[in-house]
Structure 1
Amino acid sequence: MTMSNIGCMRGFLASPVGVACAAALALPLTPPAAAAASPASSRTASMPATRPDVLPGSTQSLPLTSLSRDRVLGSAASEQGLARRDVRHFSMVGVIWDDPDTALHGSVQVRTRATGSGTWSQWQDIGTHSDDAPDPDSTERTSGRVRGSTTPLWVGDSDGVEVRVRAEGVRRTEETARGTRTLTSATALPSGLRLELVDPGEAEPGGAEPGGAGPGGAAPVTRAGSLRAGTGTPESAESLAATEIPALDQAATERELRTLRGAELTRSQRVKPYIGPRPRIITRRGWGADEKLREKKFVYTRNVKAAFVHHTDTGNGYKCSQAASVIRGIYRYHVKSMGWRDIGYNFLVDKCGTIYEGRAGGVAKPVLGAHTLGFNTKSMGIAVLGSFGSAKPPAAAVRAIARLAAWKLGIWGGNPSGKTYLKSGGGNLYRKGKNVRLNVISGHRDGFATDCPGLQLYRKLGTTRTTAARFQGR
């Protein structure tokens, strides 16, 4: 269904497809009253039960053992891992440890065996620092469940694994009777190292993975129930059955903005709403999220003043038709392995430019994410699936970031080419409480000392800001 087939926005919202999309857009549409009085608040809403014919996936968690006899101050060995072994099927791999405040100084490498082929891969590096995280004093961070972790790596369907974790060497000099000599010793590895092997599960039987359709593709939108008048909340679980939110043109998006936000619009938005056309978005149901994994409550921040761009650092070896599986793997890794309440990013984008809903709570809402430590409040996180330190990001993905930012920031009055102030919640770059002037579209590294979103993607952000502002009609 396209907007050319719809007479007006009221007709669209009254249609089964429109109702489904409106429910996916906002759960509920207006932030709870408590959210206006505090930086973040929670609200519980009913979610549809996972269908019994969906294969939910699984996680294998294997403790690492010493691979060397060297010990550092009586702590864990300086090299740990697992010898080659057969395991149940998995497609994503990472390493976790007990204390999230302890850094892993060293290297993590893995080899995997492709299912059915008997062929082992070369050694692959896994990023040792997962710099996406809940803010230090947030309920999510202080839950007692959060663990330290590497980034997850997508390896495809595999049934064998070998891993090694090596502490980096520390050099020091000392004076002796014969002169100066250099000594090298290994740092201590974090305690409780475990290998996490993630099987993302499968999409619903008979349903195609949505990523291959591309930004303009037409995927089915399931019939949904009605909305309770004036509440913006689903009347039944069926209202969340939409697998995608279709794109709207500029005029329809402006009408929707007035319809959905009404009296909350700023004076300038009432005169000329600076908002980009709504892009097509694959919903959580569309990519096959198992809603039983995450916490039930939605947590909101007050508004959305900035967008932080990330890369998932999961590798570039996936096909666009596998993007939903990659996202299911990240979701399971964030929740089951790392101990977060939900997937950390608000949105994800694949290499073909398809946009996916991330953390639950409504794509038009100011959902509190766990993407930029210290700056999750009043911001959103957009993560491109892949690693872009040396690889250039696809043009389709960069354009999708601009389209998404133009729409979502436009809802909250943000100028993609402008700057804004965010108060740091604490991190390794800015002290807690410091007001930091940032680009409205920033890279992860602007708020936290990290390589994310990769040098090649970071270099594209200037163009992204200009393009997003143009989409808004500025």
Structure 2
Amino acid sequence: MRRFLASSIGVTCAAALSLPLVLPAPPASAASVTPRSGESPSGEPLSAEPVSGSTQSIPLVPFGGDRAGGPDAPEQGVTRRGVRSFSLVGVVWDDPETELRGRVQVRTRATGTARWSGWQDIETHNQEHAADPESAERASGRVRGSTAPLWVGASDGVELRVRAEIEHRTGVPGVQTLPSGLRLELVDPGLGTEPPPVGGGSADTSRLGPLTAEAAAASAVNAELAPLGALEIPALSARDADQQNAADPGAAARVAPRPAMVTRRGWGADEQLRERQFLYTKRVKVAFVHHTASGNNYSCSQAASVIRSIYRYHVLSTGWRDIGYNFLIDKCGTIYEGRAGGVAKAVMGAHTRGFNANSMGVAVIGSFGTTKPPGAAVTGIAKLTAWKLGLYGAVANGKTYLTSGGGNLYAKGKKVRLNVISGHRDGFATECPGRALYSRLGTVRSQAARYQGR
């Protein structure tokens, strides 16, 4: 399996296929709602296939007695209104280096009903999930500041409020200034297709249509693991792993059995949204564990829709080249391929600002500040990291060094000693992956080491 190692930062180009985008007309009551650009980051028209989904973008306005105060008002939002159907929400703003210091809350109306939810908090998610400073992805000019995305389920009504934080540094209350260009993003994941049960079964692929050039390129990088256009990469048995280990008895870490994974085609990725090129780093030395902070109100059968929504939010709303994580895991332990480029390759992600080089990002779908992560998800992290780290000779319960690309914990160029399986907060000052999930990382390391035969 070590033949998958990437020798240096490189680029693989996929052929382009352009199809016109046809967006449904907005309702008359939503005249201020505008669709996100009909072009991908590379300037190509987006796919008109059902899997592409849609994004509505609504500018925030000043609230209360500050309506005359303009965009610098300490409280802004979106008044209650009906909109086209959506399932995920987030807030973006112009400058990715500006922090949103305040509280963001949303309430939504379930599609086809008069039932409104209670107010839900959206995690402000400032700067920690991002490409490294000075990287081409970060310096593209398309990147925006953003909150975490929140999954709310099928909805057709929305109300939002953002309140600036009040500081008491000098004993005199001072209200923070909210970032400029605040907009509410409402994401519809599209129809897509739900993946087959991992390890067997079949899925209805009628909605996927023909394999486009972009989809073929995203699948071809996994050609040694699964057929072109496959919805799933099959598991590698312990026996097959043992045969590989016997061929390389001097390796520092044993290759663990490969877990089954749902491919990008399996979860319905519209490959025309992302950048065409794949970006690689040298190797994978550390696995950073994350949570998506998108809430826990989803079923495992909805996980593919959640991922399509996060993908669209990361690319079209936040301005990244692709979904930020290399892998995602749902509450039932199913593993999904994240950023395109090949599950066995050292693909550069945008998950841990300052430490995206020579690492991988694994995100559990959900919020785990106080909610205990399901055992199946913890086991999924262990199986995935044992296999992927083993391909690169990394010992799952060991330690190693990464060089910081710059962040709020470590200066650029500093060599940092990290656990081979670390939490996001180990590389950047953040709550991610949530206190409850972070506390399980010791178990993850032990399990992963056992899968590696240690």
Shorter-normalised TM range: 0.7 to 0.9
Shift of 1:43: 1.9
- Aligned Cα RMSD in Å? 2.8
Which of 78, 82, 88 lines up with 1:86 in the alignment?
82
CA distance 1:268–1:325, change in 2 (3 Å): same
Give deviations 1:93-118, integer Å, cap 9, x for gaps.
Answer: 00000000000010000000000121
2:345 to 365, 381, 401: 365
Task: Specify the SS of the correspondent of 2:52.
Answer: coil
What does residue 41 of structure 1 align with?
10
Deviations 1:360-408 (A, max 9, x none): 0000000000000000000000000000000000000000000000100
Residue type of the partner of 1:245? I
1:241 aligns with 2:223: no
**Equivalent in 232, 238, 242 of residue 250 of structure 1:** 238
| 1:248-397 correspondence runs (5 A) | 248-255=236-243, 268-269=250-251, 274-397=254-377
Q: Taking structure 1 as reference, are residues 275 and 47 closer, same or farther at Cα in structure 2, changes over 3 Å only?
A: farther
- Tell me if the contact between 2:222 and 2:343 (Cα under 8 Å) persists in the aligned partners: no
| Cα deviation digits, residues 80-103 of structure 1 (max 9, x gap) | 001100100000000000000000
Paired residues for 1:451-466 under 5 Å: 451-466=431-446
Deviations 1:427-454 (A, max 9, x none): 0000000000000000000000000000
Deviation at 1:252, TM superposition (A): 1.4
**Structure 1 runs not aligned, ≥5 long:** 1-24, 174-181, 225-231
Q: State the partner residue of 1:135.
A: 132
- State the one-letter code of the partner of 1:381: G
Cα separation, 2, equivalents of 1:233 and 1:329 = 23
Q: Which amino acid aligns with 2:230?
A: A
SS at match of 1:445: helix
Instruction: Return the alpha-carbon distance in structure 1 between the equivalents of residues 149 and 66 of structure 2.
Output: 28
Give the Cα separation in 2 of the matches to 1:73 and 1:85: 23
Alignment of 1:136-215 (within 5 A): 136-171=133-168, 183-204=172-193, 208-210=194-196, 213=197
Evaluate the alpha carbon distance shift between residue 87 and residue 323 of structure 1 in structure 2; reply closer, same or farther with a 3 A threshold.
Answer: same
Q: In structure 2, what is the Cα distance between the partners aligned to 1:144 and 1:52?
A: 26
SS state at 1:405 partner: helix
Query: Is 1:113 matched with 2:109?
Result: yes
Residues 14, 276 of structure 2: 8 Å contact kept: yes
> Matched residue of 1:327: which SS?
helix
1:325-371 deviations in Å (ceiling 9; x for gaps): 00000000000000000000000000000000000000000000000
Aligned length in residues: 412
For 1:289 and 1:126, the matched residues in 2 are separated by: 25
Deviates more, 1:434-443 or 1:75-84: 75-84
Q: Structure 1 residue 58 and structure 2 residue 58: aligned?
A: no
Does structure 2 conserve the Cα–Cα contact (< 8 Å) formed by 1:254 and 1:273?
no
Pair 1:407-2:396 in alignment? no
Contact 1:299 1:361 in 2 (8 A): yes
Would you say 1:437 and 2:433 are equivalent positions?
no
Q: Is the 8 A contact 2:5 2:346 kept in 1?
A: no
| 8 Å Cα contact 1:219-1:244 kept in structure 2 | no
Does the 8 Å CA contact 1:350/1:384 hold for their aligned counterparts?
A: yes
Distance 1:451 1:60, change over 3 A: same
Aligned AA (1:357): E
Identity %, equivalent residues: 61
> Does the 8 A contact of 1:72 with 1:78 survive in 2?
no
CA offset digits 1:296-335 (Å, max 9, x no partner): 0000000000100000000000000000000000000000
Cα shift readout 1:177-225 (whole Å, capped 9, x = no counterpart): xxxxx54231100000000000011124xxx444xx3x5454469999x
Query: Could you tell me which amino acid in structure 2 is paired with residue 168 of structure 1?
Result: E
Measured in 2, the distance between the counterparts of 1:49 and 1:268 equals 49
The one-letter amino acid paired with 1:170 is E
1:350 and 1:47 map into 2 onto residues whose CA distance is: 31
Q: Does the CA-based 8 Å contact 2:269-2:308 persist in structure 1?
A: yes
How far apart, in 1, do the equivalents of 2:97 and 2:373 lie? Answer: 31
Higher gyration radius (CA): 1
- Comparing 68-77 with 290-299, greater Cα deviation is found at 68-77
Q: Partners in 2 of 1:233 and 1:356 — Cα distance? A: 15
Alpha-carbon shift at residue 248 of structure 1 (Å): 1.6
One-letter amino acid of the structure 2 residue matched with residue 327 of structure 1 = I
Partner letter of residue 259 of structure 2? P
The one-character-per-residue Cα deviations of 1:262-306 (angstroms, maximum 9, x if unpaired) are 9xx7x723xx86011100000000000000000000000000001
1:29–1:45 distance in 2 versus 1, CA, 3 Å: farther
If the length of structure 1 is used for normalisation, what is the TM-score? 0.81
Q: Which residue of 1 aligns with 2:40?
A: none
Q: CA deviation at 1:68?
A: 3.4
Could you tell which deviates more after superposition, 182-191 or 215-224? 215-224
Compute the TM-score of the two structures, normalised by the length of structure 2.
0.85
Measured after TM superposition, the shift of residue 30 of structure 1 is 5.4
Separation in 2, partners of 1:72, 1:280? 56
Tell me which residue corresponds to 2:35: none
Aligned residue for 2:79, secondary structure, equals strand
Q: Secondary structure at the match of 2:186?
A: strand
- One-letter amino acid matched to 1:316: N
Q: Is the 8 A contact 2:404 2:410 kept in 1?
A: yes
Unpaired stretches in structure 2, ≥5 consecutive residues: 20-46, 212-219
